[in-house]
Structure 1
Amino acid sequence: MDSFPAYFPLAGRTVVIAGSGEAAEAKARLFQGSPATVIRLDGTEAHLPSAYGGAILAFIASPDEAFVRAAASAARAARVLVNVVDRPEFCDFNTPAVIDRGEVVAAVGTGGSAPVLATMLRNDIEAQVPEGTGRVAALLRKFQAEVRQALPVLHERRAFLRDAVTGEAAEAARAGDMDRAAQLFREALARGSARKGALRFIAGEGPADLLTLRAVRALGAADVLVLGADADPEVVRLARRDVEHVDAGQIDADRLVELAREGRQIVRLLTGAPDPALVAALEEAQVSVETLPVAR
């Protein structure tokens, strides 16, 4: 990872855009509809550190080299992070290609080296993110404290939320009926998480791009990742960073059954065929077992 992506909350914050022209207007459009206060500067005012006081970000757009240098210097004197359009050597951060769905924001960055590529990738991703996705996030935020109180066990909470984002409440939120969405969410929360644990065998020898979409989703939903030293690091990276890692040599069928009965979603990365005795023991204990082959 050559650069670290970070999100700045905009409510109650100030963003400065210094300069004029289409590049400056494009930066201003990024913040249309956001809760940030946008201040526009031009001329010698942009050379004063006091003009940037209290801002968190400053965007500078001008073909005038002297203007750019003076404005960037003034913003940094005010301890503000600076982005200079088309001048990565003057930038403290790069502006990614943004997918804006309200409370859901995704971004694609190339470190300023290939903005056209970032835009193309953004368009591909944007087509997969429905317009109402931000309302689903707003619904989850509204009930965040209640969910934590009702489901204090982390894996049970995750299971409930995984179901919730594809359930009736989420559908109502995406359609814009937030009152019905809240009612349906409360009903679902009252029922709690009834998801049963399961174990999925996934090919772990790589390469990662041979995995099926179903296998990738299983990795993303896993609570426990069982793997050996020979698992491909690129496959391992497809799991959540906070997933529990367990050495395959340190766990047996009894422990796997115990984890599944707790409602855990378990992924066992393999570099060969599943152990028939292990599969038989899990099935005898009525644990759901699935083998997800690679795409050929």
Structure 2
Amino acid sequence: MDSFPAYFPLAGRKVVIAGVGDAADAKARLFDGSPATVVRLEGHEAYLPGSYTGATLAFIASQDEVFVQAAAGAARAARVLVNVVDRPDLCDFNTPAVIDRGEVVAAVGTGGAAPVLATMLRNDIEAQVPEGMGRVAALLARFQGEVRKALPTLHERRAFLRDAVLGEAAQAAREGDMEKAGQLFREALARGAGRKGMVRFVAGKGPADLLTLRAVRALGAADVLVIDADADPEVIKMARRDAERMDPATATADHLIQLAAEGRQIVRLITQAVDPAQIHALTQAGVAIEVLLAAPSA
């Protein structure tokens, strides 16, 4: 990737916007409803490093080249990261197209090269993210400590949270009933992580766009990945980056059975036919299995 996306906490932070006009106003609107303190600067005040002291970010919007250069220099003298509207060459960071759902924020960036494309992609993604997802994130944040205490094992905690975001508590949060959501979440936590382990065999030869949606979701939910050496790198990229990686030579049937007994979600990325002996051993041990082959090409 050409740019690394990062999120800056805004609570208690100062954001400076130097300049006037539509572009400056548009940057200010990005922070509507945020906990940041937004400071607007005009004229000579924008040329003083002291005007930017303590700021986390500075946005500069002007058609006046003298103003832009002086304001950017002053902000950098105050050791503040700078974004100059429509001038990628003068930017320390680029402003992405933002999907704002409160605690849930998604962004699409093109490195400043194609903001229209970023906006179009944002609109596509925004339609897939319900308005209430920010409340679901707030619910999970509220119970974060309790979840860690009740489920100290990482894979159990992940399994519980994956189920929770699709469960009744999350639905209540999306609908705005946070009291009910809290009650349902606490009841679910008392029941603990009930997800059974599973081994999914996923076609890893590629190309990635032939994977079924079910296979893509399996990769995203995997706790353990067993990857054949010649698997398509683009397919591997679809898996969770923090999933445990296991060499195929050590992924014996007994080992997979043990992991499944612990509740692990295992994805075996295969480039050859599934081993019938391994399937038989897993089935005999009562391990749930799913074979997810690529969709046929057109």
In 2: Cα distance, 1:86 partner to 1:194 partner: 52
Partner of 2:98: 98
What fraction of aligned residue pairs are identical, expressed as a percent? Answer: 76
Is residue 257–residue 285 contact of structure 1 (8 Å, CA) maintained in 2? yes
Counterpart CA distance in 1 for 2:290 and 2:166 is 22
Pairing 1:156-167 to 2, within 5 Å after superposition? 156-167=156-167
The corresponding residue for 1:126 is 126
Distance 1:233 1:250 in 2: 21
Do residues 151 (structure 1) and 169 (structure 2) align?
A: no
Which deviates more, 67-76 or 244-253?
A: 244-253
| 1:228–1:249 contact (8 Å) kept in structure 2 | no
Match of 1:20 in 2: 20
Counterpart code for 1:9: P
1:265 and 2:265 are equivalent in the alignment: yes
Q: 2:113 matched to which residue of 1?
A: 113
The CA distance in 1 between the partners of 2:129 and 2:168, in whole Å, is 18
| Distance (Å, rounded) in 1 between the aligned partners of 2:264 and 2:161 | 14
Larger deviation: 224-233 or 158-167?
A: 224-233
Q: Deviations over 1:135-169 (max 9, x none)?
A: 00000000000000000000000000000000000
Structure 1, residues 248-268: CA drift from partner, whole Å, max 9, x if none? 112210000000000000000
SS at match of 1:169: helix
Secondary structure of the structure 1 residue equivalent to 2:59: strand
Partner of 1:5: 5
Between the aligned partners of 1:47 and 1:185, the Cα distance in structure 2 is: 52
Task: Identify unmatched segments of 5+ residues in structure 1.
Answer: none
**How far apart, CA to CA, are the structure 2 residues paired with 1:83 and 1:149?**
42
Aligned residue for 2:206, secondary structure, equals: coil
The aligned counterpart of 1:255 is 255
Distance 2:294 2:65 in 1: 54
SS of structure 2 residue aligned to 1:217: helix
Return the alpha-carbon distance in structure 2 between the equivalents of residues 286 and 250 of structure 1.
Answer: 20
**What is the CA–CA distance in structure 2 between the aligned matches of 1:241 and 1:269, rounded to whole Å?**
15
Whole-angstrom distance in 2 between the partners of 1:238 and 1:177: 34
Letter of the structure 2 residue corresponding to residue 225 of structure 1 = L
Matched, 1:278 2:241: no
Return the alpha-carbon distance in structure 2 between the equivalents of residues 77 and 55 of structure 1: 12
The equivalent residue for 2:59 is: 59
Distance in 2 separating the partners of 1:227 and 1:275: 14
* Structure-1 separation of matches of 2:94 and 2:286: 52
Q: Which amino acid aligns with 1:17?
A: I
Look up the SS of the partner of 1:69 in the other structure.
helix
Alignment-mate amino acid for residue 71 of structure 1: A
Q: Residue 205 of structure 2 aligns with which residue?
A: 205
1:222-266, CA deviations, whole angstroms, 9 ceiling, x for partnerless residues?
000001211111111111111000011122100000000000000
Which residue number in structure 2 is paired with residue 220 of structure 1? 220
The number of aligned residues is 296
Letter in 1 for 2:10: L
Given that residues 225 and 269 in structure 1 are in contact (C-alpha distance below 8 angstroms), is that contact kept between their aligned partners in structure 2? yes
Report the Cα distance in structure 2 between the residues aligned to 1:26 and 1:167, rounded to whole angstroms: 37
Matched, 1:135 2:163: no
State the secondary structure of the residue aligned to 1:149: helix
Query: 1:63 & 1:111 partners in 2: Cα distance?
Result: 21
In 2: Cα distance, 1:39 partner to 1:295 partner = 53
Query: Normalising by the residue count of structure 1, what TM-score does the alignment of the two structures yield?
Result: 0.99
What is residue 191 of structure 2 aligned with on the other side?
191
CA RMSD of aligned residues (A): 0.5
